[in-house]
Each structure stands twice: as structure tokens, then as C-alpha cells.
Structure 1
């Protein structure tokens, strides 16, 4: 997923940086200026600190995407900030996004090597963080094949089975507790699942941290925060390694190269890397890194999106009733909603699309890096500049969206019916665009639609009495809700329906 959010340096890092601040600032003031250039560069935002640049503006309240959005109102759709010693171009306009992701996409499709990526993302072996080049292209091809319609259809029964089981389990929990407030969630007892979720949460937190070395590369020797990163990386690697060993053993017992409905991504990678090795990393590292990227892209963004959808529906009961009415009309109350049914639920899809517009999984795109000088929006952009696209700002532009901050799903059935989220409508880019666009858009949307439809089909949802829905966002890699969402649910269908699942 093409996601990013800047976090502040921790207190220890700031304390150590302050020791070098005076000396470094003196050197900065005495540094001779370079000869002038006739090429016009994007405006540089004011209020940059020596050494830290604008990092101090991007770590508190309001959230970074809103801070950068306010700066765009002042400086325009293209302006630059300093992330430590690194220059970053902030893009906040759909026209600039179109020019960037079409005309200049090839020169701005690489990634910077950040400390967290080195230690917890297999040193850029994960395709989401790999630099643009032959290795990234090969992994991207494999992932695209795995997420193709043909392959996902083979695994359809797995997705459907998981949703059926979840609905049935929630019904049983409700039956035991009779909807009491004690029933907040089903308890997952599997130790492996708990370890995996805990590790993934730590992983996402690590990716949202800007270390001293990222801000000031010459201070990389300090290794601040690296110990925690290595511990998290080790925890996840142990889990992934167990999976890989298990898959290798099963594969050794069966026929190689035979496609099966039971063959998952690790199986596919084992076959692919055996027949056509990829230069850059060993096969085990590539398999684990790519599997981790797929898990993160599928779970975290889907969970975040579904959470915000629930928030909007609870805040807008009339819209919730329209969604349920559509489900009743198109599906009825007697059967499970299948993937083929989702196409009939156009209003539900509009609700999801409007949620992605207002609360994209990553309000700021993961920073790309320009690999050569280029012109963008009439400005000269230097090689090595990082690119941050403010997706939230683009998707709430009042020049494009009427009442941009209001939740109006109907707009996608009327004025914006031809706007999609697959990277070609540059006013709506929740999954990015260009070469770095999320390869699992169709798969992810199908899963969100199917899960949401069956949940609302099976249960009534209610807000807790006298508790308004908190719509504030937390700092992190993805756009999580700042406070947990707690809702009351009760079955809306006959008990026979749940038992038949």
C-alpha cells in the first residue's frame, strides 16, 4: 500500500540533537551560498528549524495531513519542506498529481532507504519499500499475478468461509451474553494469531517513526531506536519463518508446479523462486518480505476503512437505513451475501467510496524519491527530493467537491458517478496512482464490500447511549481512529440463518 505518515522524533533523539544544534547552525550560517539558477523552484515553507527542518510541525495536533493542507492554502499546490536535512516536495492538487503520476512517474517511483525499512522491512526486500528497478519489477509481477481475478477466484471459498465463521461466532457470543455490555469482542485464543497481530502493530508503529538517522544521516552511528526495531523484526521473522518451513514441508510431500485451490501466496512464491530465482536477496527473504507486505496491505487498511465506515453510518442513521434497505431489496433475509451479489449493492459501494475520500487509509502517500531532475507544475525539482502527496487535501478540495467535508455517498451516484478509486481519477487517489499504485485494489475493495454487506445484513448496529462518535485520527502508518470504536450489536435475522452458516 502506498501509505505514509510523519511522526516526531522521540524525546531522547531531540535531546541528543540539541547538543549538536548550536555548532551545526553556526556551520550552516557560515556555509557559502551556491550560484543562482534561472530555474524556478517550488516555494519553501517558512518556520523550518535548523537540523530538524519542519519535523516539529508534523508530529502533534492537528494531524500532519491537515497541517500540510493548511500550508498548501498558503504556499500553493506544490511547495517544499525540510525533513531534517532532506528536502520534500508536498503535492496537494489533482492537476499536479496527474502530471506527476503520468508525465514524471518514471522518475519519481523510487523509495528512500529509511532506518525502519532497513531493520523491519527486510532491508527493502519488501516490494512496497524497494527502490524502483529490476528487483521491484520482478516482485511486482508476481504479486500482480497472485492478486489477479483468476487467482483470487480460486481462493474465494477461503474468504467466504472466514466471513461466515466470523458472523456465526459473533452470533454465538451475543447469544451467550445476550447483548450485554460485557461482550465487546470475541476472544482470540490462538497464541500464534495473538503474536502475529502484536508484531504487526509494532511494525506499523516503527514505520511511522522518524529516527535521528533519517533526519540527520551523519548521526546514523547513534543507532537510536534500532534495538526496538530489531526486536520487532525478529518476532515477525520467527512467525514468517515457521510458516515458510511448514509450506516447504507440505510442498515436499505433494506434486510441484500443480496449481491447487489450496495453494496460497507462499506456495506460489516457492514455485516461482525455484524455477526463476531473483537477484538481490535469497529466496527465503524474498518470500517472507513479500508475504509480510501482502498481510499488512490487506489487514491494516481494510480494518481502518471498515472502522471509519461504521463511524459514519452510526453518525448518519438515515444513510444506514438506506444501506439496509438496499440489502433487503437486493438480497432478502434468507441467504448469505455472495461476492457476485456485491455488484447489486451500489449504494453500499458509494458509502465505502465516500469514506475513502474523507478518511483515506493513508492521508499522506508514502514518500517517493526523484531519481533525476525534472519539471513539475512549472517548477524545477532536483534529484533526490522526496515526494509526499497529500491525498486528504486533494480529496477534500472545494473546487472539486461540493461540501467537501460532509459525508454524502449520493455524490458517487450523481455528480461523481464516473470517479473511481483505481488511480485514473486523480481527484480521488486513496490507493495511489502510477507505477506504485496498490496492486491489491480490486481484491481489497471486494473484501471490504463483502465483509461490510454481510455484517450489516446479519446485525443491527447501535451507538452506546450518550456517547458521541469520536472522529479524531491517531498518528501512525495508517489513518487509525484515535479511540477504539465500541458499538452495540444484535442479530436481525432468525437463529436458523446463523446456524446454517
Structure 2
């Protein structure tokens, strides 16, 4: 009886939701009628067809209906493209039109009300943010200034691994990667942004560091999880998933933390700010310091909120994407020992065993670069790239209305059998003698067009140097005879389902070079 009363009480809400959704459906369905589309269900549209992980679901639908298809997520129309030619048309001919981001709930809370670089719509504000990040923070000169910082952090990781192995060059040690790469990148990004490290040794406040690591992981998760309130707006009133409440709480905690960093930089002298414990003793400006200098010139535009938004974007995007790529690279190498051996032989030939690999050596290691390229082909850091149309346009001969969410399935493009031989196989040799610029839209792990990731250069340097040093300094084996589980989880950055575990031991031939690390 109680259940009957409960259902009757919800009946008005159901009809209200039905009326609202049908009105939206009628309004939105001047969608491309000629575009293939599965059968939709009233109210929810095609949400019932979407399973985790998203890129697998969309790839399966593309296999059934074609590389360009129209979906309706509740009241929100979406165009899904899964071919290189369609992606190219979206990001060249229609690049400006698709330079917007959809206004999702996460952008309101995590993205400083859609004013941060990642969530901002295309326009003067976005162009200015992009210019700052590209020229002031991620320029080749700026990255070179932070080189010694990156080297320090990677060498610190190597030393921790030596210590864990008790400097034993004969026996293998079990290593649970877990957060290893994430914490490495978190330290590097935070030292670049604010001059502080929050993982491992020399952490000033362990409780603050623990809290901060949680906020970063939570922010990344909340920006990647599907929120039903984005697609069925009436459900936002109830926040059934509890996601918006978590967003508000996480943003508040992260904002307080970032504000403390900005205030600390503002209060201290330049010499105190720029001291970053560099081995070479040079003084280097942090990214917050650079942004505060811009604030002095134009305080009305470069508000604290703008600075915090830029810093938060850099931290979230730079940490999770690179760490995920490293995880996949090591997983693939463990499952393909012949590739691992070939990469090590190249390093031994080009660099030798008397010194550690340096960032400047990467250009001399084409096979290692091929390993990284093949990793990013199979496991792009952003498998689904989401934009939104600002005006009506045409894709593949199909009319696309303004306000349509665009989902480009890069994971599917990178595994398209029409573009790649044996597309699911890990074969770095396919990239030998090839340049990325000559591949067009067959390989775009960092996106393309105006919204292309500005941190691409830093990401490639970090992944290449870290994986190269791990190959050079240690011998690696799988734990047991079974292959490493390569199951993919849901999320923005294509995480592994199960944490990576491996066996390693220091290479005896590298003993002299490794011992110099701890002198």
C-alpha cells in the first residue's frame, strides 16, 4: 500500500517531466533528419544505449549506423563522429563553429562559471586565455627554464625505486604503480605553478598535501562523470546522483587552496617567490608569479578568479593525461618484452650506460618515440573530445543545427581498420620514418584546431623522458605468466581498470650512473 501511495505521489512529477522533455524533443528535432539515428525513447532519448566506457559505446553505435550519427541525450542533441574525414571537417572547415564547449554543470562549478580555459566559449576571453597559456606558460623557452625541475622530480622517482629495491641488482622487487605517475606529474605541475611539491619527500605539510591530492583527483573525476542533470534538466532539482553537491564542495575546497597560493605569492618578495630549490641555483618565476605580474598591468581583467582558473586547468589537464599515458606505455611494454628490449637497445646505443638519458637525447631515439606514438594511438589521453556548434553548419552533407553537442571519438579513429593495418595490435614499427605532421587526422591524441591541447609539448617531453629512464635504469618483468590486464575504465583520460603491478630490478650495467644519483 505504501508503494502505491509513493508512486501516486510521483505521478505529477512524471507527467511534468514527460511534458518538458517532449517539448524539448519537438524543439530540438530540427536535427539533421538525414543523419542515421537509432530509435529514441521518450524523455531519455538515446541515454539507454550508452554504457561505460563511453568511447566503446559510441564506437559500437558507429559500427551499426555509420561514422556520422545523431543522438539525443535527454533534451540535448548530439552529433557523434568516428571517422578521420568527419573529424577533419569538424576541425578545419567548421573549426570556429565547433570551438565552443557545451554548458555542462561541471563547467559552472569546477570551471569558475565557464570562465576557465577548458570550459570557456570561443571568443575574446578564450583567445586571451589561450594566448597567455601558449606564450607565457607553455612556450618552448618557458619549458626549457623548467627543465632542471622536471629532471629533479624524475630522478627523485628513480632514487625512490632504488631505495625500495635495496640497491639489489640481482633480485626483482614488486612494484605497485598505483599513484606513482600521478604523483610524479602532480609534483612537476605544482612546482611549475606554485613552487611547491605535494608528494614524496620534502613535503612541508603532509595533511595539506593529502587533502590537495584528494581535491585534484576529485576534480578530475567530477569533470568526466556523466551527470543526468545535464541531459534531463528537471532532475537537476533533485541531484539524485549527488554530483552537483560534490562539485560545489570540491570547488570550494580547491578554490580556498588556490587562493592561499595566490595570496602567498602576492605577500612574499620576488626572491622568496622564485626560489624553487633548483640544483643550478637559478631563480625562476612560478606560473602564479607570471600571472600576478599580468594582474599588476591589468587588474580588472586578470582577477584572482582568472588566475585560479588558469592554474586549476593546468593542474588537472597536465597531471592526469600524462600520468595515464605513462601507465599505458609501461603496461604495453610489459606485455611486449621484445619491444621493451628493442627500445632499451636503442637507448644503450645512442646514450650509453655511463650516464642517464636526458631530455635532449629524445630526438635521437626514434623507436622510443614510436613506442609513445603507438601508445597514444591505442590509448589517447582524451578518447572523446566534446565541442558544441555555435551556428548551423553541414558535416558530411548533413545539416547540423546550432547548439548541437559534438562528440569526436578519437579512440575509434585511432583504431579504424580503414586507416591502420591490424589496428588493435601494439606495433611501434608502424611509425618508423613517419612524422606526426604527415599523418593528418589519423592520429590526433591532443586534438586539433583552435582547441588543441596547449600542453602537448610538455606532455610528450615528460612521457618520453620518464619512460625512457625507466627502460634504461631497470629490468622489467610481469608478475606471473599472465598478461597485464589492459581493461579500460570510464573517465576523461582513459584510466586503467586495475592498477598496474610489475617486477623490476636495477640494471647492473647502469650501476655507476645510478650511484651518482645518490651521491
Q: TM-score when scaled to structure 2?
A: 0.84
Report the CA distance shift for 1:491/1:220 in structure 2 as closer, same or farther (over 3 A): same
Q: Indicate if the aligned counterparts of 2:103 and 2:114 stay in contact, CA closer than 8 A.
A: yes
Report the CA distance shift for 1:42/1:148 in structure 2 as closer, same or farther (over 3 A): farther
Q: Indicate if the aligned counterparts of 1:127 and 1:139 stay in contact, CA closer than 8 A.
A: yes
Q: CA deviation at 1:35?
A: 13
Structure 2 residue 428 is the aligned partner of structure 1 residue 394: no
Corresponding residue of 1:129: 119
Q: Indicate if the aligned counterparts of 1:298 and 1:444 stay in contact, CA closer than 8 A.
A: yes
Q: CA deviation at 1:443?
A: 1.4
Distance in 2, Cα, partners of 1:466 & 1:25: 54
What secondary structure, in the 3-state scheme, does the structure 2 residue paired with 1:461 have?
A: strand
Corresponding residue of 1:210: 226
Distance in 2, Cα, partners of 1:179 & 1:168: 16
Q: CA deviation at 1:44?
A: 4.7
Q: Indicate if the aligned counterparts of 2:35 and 2:398 stay in contact, CA closer than 8 A.
A: no
Corresponding residue of 1:5: none
Distance in 1, Cα, partners of 2:358 & 2:286: 21
Q: Which among 270, 290, 300 is matched to residue 310 of structure 2?
A: 290
Q: CA deviation at 1:172?
A: 1.3
Q: CA deviation at 1:36?
A: 11
Distance in 1, Cα, partners of 2:131 & 2:320: 23
Report the CA distance shift for 1:405/1:180 in structure 2 as closer, same or farther (over 3 A): closer
What secondary structure, in the 3-state scheme, does the structure 1 residue paired with 2:491 have?
A: coil
Residues 63-462 of structure 1 aligned to structure 2 (within 5 Å): 63-145=53-135, 146-175=137-166, 179-181=172-174, 188=200, 190=203, 191=206, 192-224=208-240, 225=242, 226-251=244-269, 261-277=283-299, 279=301, 283-365=303-385, 367-414=386-433, 417-420=434-437, 425-462=440-477
Q: CA deviation at 1:147?
A: 0.6
**CA distances 1:158-212 after superposition (whole Å, capped 9, x unpaired):** 1111111211121112117975448767883742332222111111111123334
Structure 2 residue 506 is the aligned partner of structure 1 residue 491: yes
| 5+ residue gaps, structure 1 | 1-15
Q: Indicate if the aligned counterparts of 1:84 and 1:216 stay in contact, CA closer than 8 A.
A: yes
What secondary structure, in the 3-state scheme, does the structure 2 residue paired with 1:80 have?
A: strand
What secondary structure, in the 3-state scheme, does the structure 2 residue paired with 1:336 have?
A: coil
**CA distances 1:359-395 after superposition (whole Å, capped 9, x unpaired):** 1112111x21101111111111100001000001111
Report the CA distance shift for 1:229/1:17 in structure 2 as closer, same or farther (over 3 A): farther
Q: Indicate if the aligned counterparts of 1:42 and 1:79 stay in contact, CA closer than 8 A.
A: no
Q: Which moved more, 1:121-130 or 1:476-485?
A: 121-130
Q: Which moved more, 1:136-145 or 1:182-191?
A: 182-191
Q: Which moved more, 1:392-401 or 1:40-49?
A: 40-49
Report the CA distance shift for 1:371/1:491 in structure 2 as closer, same or farther (over 3 A): same
Distance in 2, Cα, partners of 1:79 & 1:32: 17
Report the CA distance shift for 1:262/1:269 in structure 2 as closer, same or farther (over 3 A): same
Distance in 2, Cα, partners of 1:36 & 1:487: 52
Distance in 1, Cα, partners of 2:423 & 2:253: 43
Moved segments of 4+, more than 6 Å? 16-19, 26-37, 182-187, 253-256
Distance in 2, Cα, partners of 1:174 & 1:53: 55
Corresponding residue of 2:277: none
Distance in 2, Cα, partners of 1:36 & 1:231: 36
Question: Size of the alignment, in residue pairs?
Answer: 473
**CA distances 1:331-386 after superposition (whole Å, capped 9, x unpaired):** 11111211110101100110110011111112111x21101111111111100001
Distance in 2, Cα, partners of 1:169 & 1:406: 33
CA RMSD of aligned residues (A): 2.8
Distance in 1, Cα, partners of 2:319 & 2:27: 48
Q: Indicate if the aligned counterparts of 1:116 and 1:209 stay in contact, CA closer than 8 A.
A: no
Report the CA distance shift for 1:17/1:112 in structure 2 as closer, same or farther (over 3 A): farther
Q: Indicate if the aligned counterparts of 1:420 and 1:428 stay in contact, CA closer than 8 A.
A: no
Corresponding residue of 1:7: none
Q: Which moved more, 1:143-152 or 1:461-470?
A: 461-470
Distance in 2, Cα, partners of 1:17 & 1:425: 53
What secondary structure, in the 3-state scheme, does the structure 1 residue paired with 2:79 have?
A: strand
Q: Indicate if the aligned counterparts of 1:174 and 1:183 stay in contact, CA closer than 8 A.
A: no
What secondary structure, in the 3-state scheme, does the structure 2 residue paired with 1:500 have?
A: helix
Q: Indicate if the aligned counterparts of 2:36 and 2:68 stay in contact, CA closer than 8 A.
A: no
What secondary structure, in the 3-state scheme, does the structure 1 residue paired with 2:461 have?
A: helix
Q: Which moved more, 1:268-277 or 1:48-57?
A: 48-57
Structure 2 residue 492 is the aligned partner of structure 1 residue 477: yes
Report the CA distance shift for 1:299/1:121 in structure 2 as closer, same or farther (over 3 A): same
Q: CA deviation at 1:228?
A: 1.4
| 5+ residue gaps, structure 2 | 1-8, 181-198, 275-281
